[in-house]
Homo-oligomer: A and B are copies of this chain.
Amino acid sequence: MTTNSTSTRVLLAARPHGWPTDENFRVETVDLPALADGEVRVVNEFCSVDPYMRGRMNDVKSYVAPFALDEPLTGGAVGHVVESRSDALAVGDAVTHQLGWRDVAQAGADQFRKVDEIPGVPLSAYLGILGLTGLTAWVGLQEIAALKEGDAVFVSGAAGAVGSAAGQIARLLGASRVVGSAGSSEKVERLTSRFGFDAAFDYKAAPVREQLPQAAPDGIDLYFDNVGGDHLEAALDVLNPDGRVALCGAISGYNETEPQRGPDNMVNIVKNSLRLRGFTLGAYMHHAPAFYAAMGPWLASGEVVHDETVVDARGDVGATVGAFLGLLRGENTGKMVVRTA
């Protein structure tokens, strides 16, 4: 009798228009076939839910293909091999992969990457600070925005997984001042007390355009943009000459059905010789070795800390949907993960 011979998974039942709801998703349980040669079966300990997934639910051309209707959703996940017909992976190996939104994954061994388990660091870290989340912050600061020692740095959405990593990495790489925004007074407090930001503000309490100049009285040299919209506009007001912007996401526009109004001060890009550069991580995976070499010791020493919001979906994979909707509403603190085993 094979263990874990079924897989319970979430499918895209209908494309959302605007904010997604439960009706856009469906849960099904299927019997898994016996392993073919070269395949492994993995019990997922944690699955990742991420803002970019909302974009993949639309049927439009983007930097990643849209999710298919009536097919299982995919996304980052980490778990343990429970059965193997491959020499590359053994039962008990910890692996990361992209077959999330389900409790059990099965595929060729080349779909999985073996990782080390670090004492004291939960496996879920590979979905966040030790994974694409941390690497996104690293690449955005170093490669996209060319962080220099002494830069004054502003990070929006700074209590999020990427944002809190970006603020800490900026400080460790020599930023002179790190300012962050977040969407509640509790998150703002965490930015300074836990993540070492020099100043922070609640973007829901007053216009960003009023608060940012107070938090950055000498202007900023580098803006790590997770938000877009009013945050980018406010940043364009205070960026110093030769300032740089890494545009990482525009979460404020993800659920808008109408195009979002752009900054009314684009002329500052010319006046102050600013550089804006958008990026998605795919083209920059070659930075991963340098990132792991830096982040491993930082995590081990406690120089970098990270938050997770863990939603328990053990025995109820469908709870992944609620976690995703909560993420879009900003209910997470730090990286949002779903425990599936």
B283–A278 touching, CB < 8 Å: no
Residues of B within 8 A of A241 (CB): 63
**Alpha-carbon distance A269/B268, docked complex (angstroms):** 17
Q: Determine how many copies of this chain the complex contains.
A: 2
Chain A stretch 243-277: residues in CB contact (< 8 A) with chain B? 247-250, 253, 259-277
How far does the alpha carbon of A261 sit from the alpha carbon of B269 in the complex, in Å? 14
A6 close to chain B: CB less than 8 A: no
In this complex, how many residues of chain A approach chain B with their Cβ under 8 Å: the count is 34
Expressed in whole angstroms, the minimum distance between the Cβ of A185 and any Cβ of chain B is 28
* A273 close to B280 (CB less than 8 A): yes
Closest residue of chain B to A265, judged by CB? B259
Taking a contact as CB atoms closer than 8 A, the residue among B62, B267, B272 that contacts A260 in the complex is B267
Q: What are the residues of chain B within 8 A of A248 when measuring CB–CB? A: 270
Interface check A291, CB cutoff 8 A: no
- The chain B residue sitting closest to A261, CB to CB, is B264
A208 to B200, CA, bound (A): 40
Query: Which residues from B are CB-within-8-Å of A232?
Result: 266
Our pick among B63, B267, B272, B273 for the contact of A228 (Cβ within 8 Å) is B267
Q: How far is the CA of A275 from the CA of B278 in the complex (A)?
A: 6
User: B-facing mask of A157-201, CB < 8 A → 1, else 0?
Assistant: 000000000000000000000000000000000000000000000
Contacts of A275 in B (CB 8 A): 275-278
Residue of B62, B266, B267, B279 near A263 (CB, 8 A) is: B266
With a cutoff of 8 Å between Cβ atoms, the chain B residues found around residue A261 in the complex are 261-262, 264
Question: Contacts A275-B275, A275-B277, A276-B275: A250 and B270 contacting too (C-beta < 8 A)?
Answer: yes
A233 interface contact, C-beta 8 A: yes
A94–B275 Cα distance when bound, in Å, is: 38
